[in-house]
C-alpha cells in the first residue's frame, strides 16, 4: 500500500465558496469512493461544519485521507454501525470501522432517543475513526433542546507531563447547552494546547507556531511545526491537561472497549491497521 495522505494537504487560500456547493462536492467525492449517498452527506456536512466554524484542521482538508483509507481498505463503508447492547439509559455502539462521522451520528441519535425516554443517556462507542469536530454533534443536540457532553480519544500526539514521547492523543471534549432564545453555550476543545491539525497547517503555510505548543524529539520547546510534528504536543495546563486526557481515554477507550493509548492508530502514518477510535456521548 502507498503511504497515507500527509496532514495539512488541504489547499489554504483566501477565496470564499458557497458552503452548500462544497457539501455537494464532498458528497459526490465520497459517493465515488463507494460510500452510500446518505452516509456521504453526513460526512460532508461534518467537514463543512468545521470549516464554517473556522476550524480548518478538521474540515475538508481531511477529505483526501478519508478517501485514501477507504480505498486502502482501512475504513469499511459496507457495514452500518450496530448497537451491541442497550439497557436502561445506557448503550454501546460498534462503529464497524465505518467513517467516524457516520458512527458518531449513529451514536448521537441513539443517545437522543434514550435521553428522550429516560431523561439522560450514556453511550459508549468502539471501532470508529476520526469523527470530525465534536461541535458537530453538540449543535445537533442543542437543536433538540438537549445538553450534550461528548468526547473522543485520538492517536498518540501528547507527551505526558515531564515526558518526551507521545502517549495520549489530543483527546477532545465538547459541551453543548441550549439557552432558549439566547445563544447556546458551546465549548469544543482539545486537551492539548493546540490541535495537531493546526500545526500541520502551519507547516503547510511555512509559518512558525507559538512557543509552548509543542516540543521536539529531544523534549525541547520548539516553534518549528516540522519539529513539533516529529516530537510531541503539550497538554493544556500542564499536568491538569494530561490528567483530563487520561480521563477521556479511560471513558472512550477502556470503558467503551475501543483502543487506548498506543492502541489508537494514526489516521496518517499507519497503512496497516484501522484506527479503532473510541467516543463517549
Per residue in 188-212, pLDDT (tens digit) is 999 999 888 788 888 888 999 999 9
Asked if pLDDT for residue 4 goes beyond 60, the answer is no
Residue pointed to by grid coordinates 507527551: 159
Confidence of residue 8 (pLDDT cuts 50, 70, 90): very low
Contact 150, 261 (CB under 8 A): no
Selected catalytic residue, list 49, 58, 98, 130: 130
Contact 94, 256 (CB under 8 A): no
Domains of the chain with CATH codes: 19-71 (1.10.1530.10), 82-195+237-280 (3.30.1370.60)
The phi-psi region of residue 65 (left if phi > 0; otherwise alpha if psi is between -120 and 50; otherwise beta) is alpha
Give catalytic status of residue 279 as yes or no. Answer: no
Mapped to the 3 state alphabet, what secondary structure does 208-272 carry? Answer: CCCCCCEECCCCCEECCHHHHHHCEECECCCHHHHHHHHHHHHHHHHHCCCCCHHHCCCCCCCCC
C-alpha cell at 223: 516553534
Confidence of residue 3 (pLDDT cuts 50, 70, 90): very low
Give the tens place of pLDDT for each residue, 162-193. 899 999 999 999 999 999 999 999 999 999 99
Give the tens place of pLDDT for each residue, 40-67. 999 999 999 999 999 988 999 999 999 9
pLDDT at 65: 95
Confidence of residue 13 (pLDDT cuts 50, 70, 90): low
Q: What is the mean pLDDT of the chain?
A: 93
How far apart are the C-alpha atoms of 131 and 128, rounded to whole Å?
8
Asked if pLDDT for residue 10 goes beyond 70, the answer is no
Contact 260, 105 (CB under 8 A): no
Give the strand pairing for 122-128 and 90-94: parallel
Give the tens place of pLDDT for each residue, 95-109. 999 999 999 999 999
Amino acid at each position: 500500500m502507498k503511504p497515507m495522505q500527509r496532514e495539512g494537504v488541504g489547499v489554504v487560500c483566501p477565496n470564499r465558496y458557497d458552503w452548500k456547493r462544497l457539501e455537494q462536492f464532498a458528497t459526490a467525492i465520497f459517493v465515488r469512493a463507494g460510500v452510500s449517498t446518505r452516509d456521504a452527506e453526513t460526512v460532508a456536512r461534518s467537514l463543512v461544519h468545521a470549516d464554517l466554524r473556522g476550524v480548518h484542521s478538521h474540515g475538508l482538508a481531511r477529505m483526501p485521507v478519508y478517501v485514501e483509507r477507504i480505498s486502502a481498505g482501512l475504513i469499511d463503508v459496507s457495514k452500518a454501525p450496530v448497537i451491541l447492547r442497550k439497557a436502561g439509559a445506557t448503550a454501546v455502539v460498534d462503529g464497524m470501522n465505518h467513517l467516524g462521522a457516520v458512527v458518531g451520528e449513529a451514536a448521537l441519535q441513539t443517545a437522543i432517543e434514550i435521553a428522550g425516554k429516560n431523561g439522560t443517556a450514556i453511550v459508549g462507542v468502539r471501532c470508529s475513526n476520526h469523527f470530525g469536530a465534536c461541535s458537530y454533534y453538540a449543535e445537533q443536540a442543542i437543536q433538540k433542546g438537549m445538553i450534550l457532553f461528548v468526547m473522543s480519544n485520538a492517536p498518540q500526539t501528547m507527551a505526558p507531563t515531564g515526558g518526551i514521547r507521545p502517549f495520549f492523543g489530543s483527546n477532545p471534549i465538547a459541551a453543548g447547552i441550549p439557552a432558549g432564545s439566547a445563544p447556546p453555550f458551546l465549548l469544543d476543545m482539545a486537551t492539548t494546547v493546540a490541535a495537531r491539525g493546526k500545526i500541520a497547517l502551519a507547516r503547510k503555510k511555512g509559518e512558525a507556531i507559538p512557543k509552548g505548543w509543542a516540543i521536539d524529539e529531544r523534549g525541547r520547546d520548539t516553534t518549528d511545526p516540522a519539529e513539533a510534528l516529529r516530537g510531541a504536543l503539550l497538554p493544556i495546563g500542564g499536568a491538569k491537561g494530561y490528567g483530563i486526557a487520561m480521563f477521556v481515554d479511560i471513558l472512550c477507550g477502556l470503558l467503551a472497549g475501543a483502543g487506548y493509548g498506543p492502541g489508537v492508530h494514526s489516521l496518517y502514518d499507519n497503512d496497516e491497521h484501522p484506527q479503532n477510535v473510541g467516543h463517549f456521548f
